[in-house]
C-alpha cells in the first residue's frame, strides 16, 4: 500500500529535523507535598542499596537485590566506566530514599561519541510530582556536563507511558539510533 505524499514529506521533515541547542533548565520548584528543602540528592552509599532495591521491587514487582548491589559495587571499582549512582533522601529522615538514578558515560558504541546514559530512574509513588525525578535527572545531567559530555540518552519501553512522558517532559526526544533485537529461544 502506497503512503500519501503529504505524510511521507512530513515524516521525512520530522526525522531529518535539526535539533536546536538547549540551555540547561533551572530546577523546578517541587509541586504541592514535599517542600523544596525536604530532600537532597547525593551520591549513593552502600547502605542505600537495600532501600533502592526495595523501592525498585515495589515499583517493578521484581526483587533484584543482588543486581543493585552488584551494580553499585561495579561502579565503585577503579578502571570502570564513569558510573554515577545517586539517591534523593529526606533531609529529616536521611535513611528514607525518595528516588534514585543510575547512569554512566559510554563512548564509541556503534560510532556514537561519548554520551551519558541513564540506566535507571525511579521515584517512590508517594513522592512523585513533587520535583524528585526532575532533581535526580538534572543532577545526573550536571554530572555528565561536568565530565564534558554533551548528550544524555536512555531507553524506554514504548508501552510504558509514565517514564516516556516524564523523559519527554524533561526535554528528551527520539535520537538517531534504532534499537534492534532478536528472540534467541
Q: In angstroms, how far is CA 46 from the centroid of its own chain?
A: 20
Residue 3: pLDDT over 90: no
What pLDDT shows up at residue 154?
94
Q: What percent of the chain has pLDDT over 90?
A: 59
Residue 33: pLDDT over 70: no
pTM (two decimals): 0.78
The pLDDT-based confidence of 110 (bands split at 50, 70, 90) is: confident
Mean of the pLDDT values across residues 6-18?
A: 40
Rounded to an integer, what distance in angstroms lies between the CA atom of residue 122 and that of residue 145? 21
What pLDDT shows up at residue 12?
38
Range from 19-23, 36-40, 48-52 carrying the lowest mean pLDDT: 19-23
What pLDDT shows up at residue 74?
86
Rounded to an integer, what distance in angstroms lies between the CA atom of residue 117 and that of residue 134? 16
What pLDDT shows up at residue 36?
63
Residue 41: pLDDT over 90: yes
b/e per residue 60-97 (b: at least 16 CB within 10 A) = eeeeeeeebeebbeebeeeeeebbbbbbbbeeeeeebb
What pLDDT shows up at residue 9?
41
Residues 156, 162 contacting (CB under 8 angstroms): no
Of residues 185 and 23, which shows the higher confidence score? 185
What domains sit in the chain, N to C, each tagged with a CATH number? 33-169 (3.40.630.30)
The average confidence (pLDDT) of the chain is: 82
What pLDDT shows up at residue 93?
82
Of residues 10 and 155, which shows the higher confidence score? 155
Mean of the pLDDT values across residues 101-125?
A: 91
Amino acid at each position: 500500500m502506497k503512503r500519501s505524499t503529504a505524510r511521507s514529506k512530513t515524516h521525512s521533515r520530522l526525522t531529518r529535523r535539526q535539533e536546536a541547542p538547549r540551555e540547561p533548565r533551572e530546577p523546578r520548584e517541587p509541586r504541592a507535598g514535599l517542600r523544596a528543602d525536604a530532600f537532597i540528592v547525593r551520591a549513593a552509599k552502600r547502605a542505600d542499596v537495600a532501600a533502592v532495591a526495595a523501592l525498585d521491587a515495589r515499583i517493578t514487582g521484581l526483587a533484584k537485590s543482588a543486581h543493585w548491589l552488584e551494580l553499585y559495587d561495579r561502579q565503585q571499582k577503579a578502571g570502570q566506566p564513569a558510573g554515577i549512582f545517586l539517591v534523593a533522601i529526606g533531609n529529616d529522615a536521611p535513611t528514607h530514599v525518595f528516588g534514585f538514578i543510575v547512569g554512566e558515560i559510554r563512548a564509541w558504541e556503534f560510532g556514537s561519541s561519548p554520551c551519558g546514559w541513564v540506566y535507571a530512574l525511579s521515584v517512590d509513588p508517594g513522592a512523585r510530582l513533587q520535583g524528585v525525578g526532575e532533581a535526580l535527572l538534572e543532577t545526573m545531567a550536571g554530572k555528565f556536563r561536568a565530565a564534558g559530555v554533551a548528550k544524555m540518552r536512555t531507553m524506554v519501553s514504548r508501552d510504558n507511558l509514565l517514564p516516556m512522558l516524564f523523559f519527554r517532559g524533561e526535554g528528551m526526544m527520539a535520537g538517531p539510533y534504532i534499537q534492534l533485537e532478536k528472540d534467541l529461544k
